[in-house]
Chain A
C-alpha cells in the first residue's frame, strides 16, 4: 500500500483479555518497529524486526507482550492478559535499511 497500515484503529477491551494489533508495512521495507505512546509521553520502543527476525526485543515491558512478523511483511503485536497500564497508542513504523521511519496512524488501546 501507499503507507503503513495499522488495524484496528481503536480497541477497547476488558482487563485480562488478550488483544492482537496488526501492522502492514510499506512494501519492500525490510525493517519494522513497534513503539507505544502514553498520553503526554514520548515514544517508547518495544521491538524491532529486520526481515522476520527480531534482533532487539529489549523494549517489551513484560512476558505478556510478544510480536511476530511473517513473510518479511505483516507484523502482529499480541498482549496477553491486558492490564490498565497497557492503555496507550501503539505505533508501528517501517523503513528501508538505515533510513527514516514511516509511521502508521496507530492503534488506540483502552483497557477497562
Chain B
C-alpha cells in the first residue's frame, strides 16, 4: 500500500524558521516533491529530492532520507505570504502519478 503522513496544521511566527515533516511508505520510490498551495489556487512546485540529503533553494530547503522514508521542508525567515498548505508527494516509479499527502496548513502570525 501507500501511505504519506504529514501534520495537519502548524503555526509559526513571522521571521522564524519552521520545519514541516513528511513520512512515507510506498511500494517503490522515484522521487519526493513538495508543493505549495494557497487557498483557492493551484499547487505550485517547490522542490524535488531523489537522492538523500538537503536541497536548498533560497528561503526553502528540502531534505530526504530514503532509508527512513522521511523528508522535511524547511522554511526560513517566514513571511506572511508563506501562509499556505504544503503538500508532500511521492512518485513510485517511472512516470507514474504522484501520490499526495493531505497537506500541512501553515499559518504565519505576526
Contacts and interface: CB of A to CB of B under 8 A. Distances in A.
Are both chains from one complex? yes
A98 B41 contact: no
A91 B42 contact: yes
B95 A43 contact: no
B48 A100 contact: yes
Interface stretch (B12-20, B60-68, B70-78, B99-107): B99-107
Interface string A16-59: 00000000000000010101000001110100101000001001
B99 A98 contact: no
B45 A43 contact: no
A105 B41 contact: yes
Interface in A71-112: 91, 95, 97-98, 100-106
Interface residues of B, number: 20
A33 B91 CA distance: 13
Contacts of A100: 33, 45, 48
A101 B100 CA distance: 12
Contact of B45 (A35, A42, A59, A101): A101
B58 interface: no
B44 A50 contact: no
A42 B102 contact: yes
Given A101-B45, A105-B41, A106-B42, A42 B87 contact: yes
A2 B89 CA distance: 24
16 contacts: A31-B95, A33-B98, A43-B89, A45-B99, A45-B100, A48-B97, A95-B95, A98-B94, A98-B95, A100-B33, A100-B45, A100-B48, A101-B43, A101-B98, A103-B43, A106-B42
Interface of B: 30, 33, 41-45, 48, 87, 89, 94-103
Interface of A: 4, 31, 33, 35, 41-43, 45, 48, 50, 56, 59, 91, 95, 97-98, 100-106
